[in-house]
Structure 1
């Protein structure tokens, strides 16, 4: 499936594009069924909350064929190529899970600073695709966005201990970008200003919905207040002409993909 001109224009203007009922109920069921098979005990690819519940599963395509096929689904790859205007590869792939009554928040941030500062990617010629595995709304931690903030580039960071510690250590500790106290968060006054100017969108959607969003858009999500898990798959595609340049201290390959081959052999279903 390819996007139409109106959808492409909306993405570039607003910084995101939501499409409902993009995956079938059967496809979502397969992904949910296979999700436990992506979790490998004691693997560094599994990030836990402070309460011990799973927060993120990185690189599920490394060990699971279903999730590997999903990353080559024509309905994801072709629109991503249109939005980036080039052939693409997988820079990062993860499952974020908010456990019922346990799932923590994600502070207001942009994704591109991590890819730019930690991975050495020069341009935000990237797009993230979020796939909803359950009905998602404000009560179970739906993603919130501030439209058009992707046009600002990388903005001022909030002053916080996680950022100061990372600067003092002068290292590339990947763990500081994965827990609830992430290091690169948006300055609070800037969030207030842009929220007043542009508003905040809660990207509620039914299971099977897909959200395409820009790496520089301000986004956050709240805790999961329901007793039911809320899972979402996020695949970040990057242009094959925009490769990471941090060769001295690269993050692990499950955070910064090393296979730069353009995605081929597209599939029509998982």
Structure 2
């Protein structure tokens, strides 16, 4: 484990007023920001319906972007979704999201990766603890931590149905993962993560330091 070198908030970008001072302080200190009702119920329904169509689209059968649950044909994730759907291309360009990224990163931004996770509550296999940046740094060559992840919940999230969990303050630490990543590891890791996961001692230290938070609430 090593301390983060890059600042969390970057100044001098094209957007200055999407987030207020309280939001910026929250993100700087804890590394996450939960915003409810950013998109209307109608917009959420439209995206949910589009995702259901994509999951059952026979044209995606056998494509690398379509990842299924281990041991079944149930769709777990769809990658490059902004390239497969006009609705999700629109989402990737929506200023309600883009301006948050522009303000935090202090610059114009690009999309490194897009995906829709459809892991069903209760029955879907877990996504193990991981750092997006560690994977992007080691496997994709992303040089610095001047990046962020944005998620949009299309279903209600409860404590009991497997919501995303985050460790508060963990964005200020880089946790390297032991082991050489196999070739084409990304294909298998989407079903089961065996490489690129933090060791148990690092996870314990991060959890003890900042605690674990789950963003629950409506879609």
Which residue number in structure 1 is paired with residue 157 of structure 2? Answer: 136
Moved segments of 4+, more than 4 Å? none
Aligned residue pairs total 198
What CA distance in whole angstroms lies between the structure 1 residues aligned with 2:110 and 2:189? 22
Does 2:193 correspond to 1:181? yes
Decide which of 53, 59, 67 is 1:47's aligned counterpart.
67
Query: Counterparts in 2 of 1:67-82, with a 5 A limit?
Result: 67-82=88-103
What CA distance in whole angstroms lies between the structure 2 residues aligned with 1:16 and 1:54? 27
Shift of 1:11: 0.7
The verdict on how the C-alpha distance between 1:172 and 1:79 changes in structure 2, with shifts beyond 3 A counting, is: same
Compare relative contact order (CA 8 Å, sep 6+) and give the higher one, 1 or 2: 1
TM-score by length of 2: 0.84
Cα pair 2:77 2:116 within 8 Å, conserved: yes
What CA distance in whole angstroms lies between the structure 2 residues aligned with 1:120 and 1:176? 20
Name the stretch that deviates more: 70-79 or 189-198: 189-198
Cα pair 1:49 1:55 within 8 Å, conserved: yes
Shift of 1:45: 0.2
The verdict on how the C-alpha distance between 1:182 and 1:31 changes in structure 2, with shifts beyond 3 A counting, is: farther
TM-score by length of 1: 0.69
Does 2:86 correspond to 1:65? yes
Which residue number in structure 2 is paired with residue 13 of structure 1? Answer: 29
Query: Counterparts in 2 of 1:55-204, with a 5 A limit?
Result: 55-153=76-174, 155-157=175-177, 163=179, 166=181, 169=182, 171-204=183-216
**Structure 1: stretches of 5+ with no match in the other structure:** 208-270
Which residue number in structure 1 is paired with residue 40 of structure 2? Answer: 24
Cα pair 2:76 2:119 within 8 Å, conserved: yes
**Structure 2: stretches of 5+ with no match in the other structure:** 1-16
SS of 2:93 mapped into structure 1: coil
Does 2:54 correspond to 1:38? yes
SS of 2:151 mapped into structure 1: strand
